[in-house]
Amino acid sequence: MAAVGGAYILGVTEPVRAATLVTYTLDAELAGGDDVTGSIDFDVANQEITGADLTVSNSGSPVDVYSHVELYYSTASSFEVTDDQGYLSQFYLASDLTGAAGEDVAIVPDSGFVEVGQYGVDEEVVQGGVTDGSAGPSSVPEPSSIMATVTAVTLGVGLRRMKRKV
């Protein structure tokens, strides 16, 4: 707190809350020989998976595309999604996601499944995991933090100009 010309200015010493979202890469092998690749979005503040964009492939050729999937259930360690045709899939992770940089979490073998193909055949997930190779979670400032920064800079410039005139 500083006194300037009889007025007091309070400084904010703690950072304003920011929303954080981490995008993980998912890669899994299924019992029927298919692969699942794509990404999942994890909300660090709420400790839940908020979205997924997955593709099921057989020998590199896409079989099902899970884009803009609907999440039925999501926690830091498991999630269920449906693809564009309504097929349900479940994934269970060996530990909770945290959003830490470089995190690598295995998928629990034989605990989840993916419905694949025209008839929705269930294939168990035999191995795989989710990884985050980035330098850390992306931080998206909330509007209030932007306004606080602009206000602080404006006040600082104004005080400096006042001080020069005195």
Assigned domain for 36 exists: yes
Assigned domain for 39 exists: yes
Cβ–Cβ < 8 Å for 42, 50: yes
Domain count, the chain: 1
10-66 per-position pLDDT tens digit? 444 444 344 589 999 999 999 988 899 999 999 999 999 988 888 888 877 777 766
Assigned domain for 28 exists: yes
| pTM for this entry | 0.65
Assigned domain for 111 exists: yes
pLDDT, residue 59, reads 77
Q: Write out the residue range of the structural domain in which residue 68 sits.
A: 20-135
Assigned domain for 142 exists: no
Cβ–Cβ < 8 Å for 45, 19: yes
Mean pLDDT for 90-94 is: 94
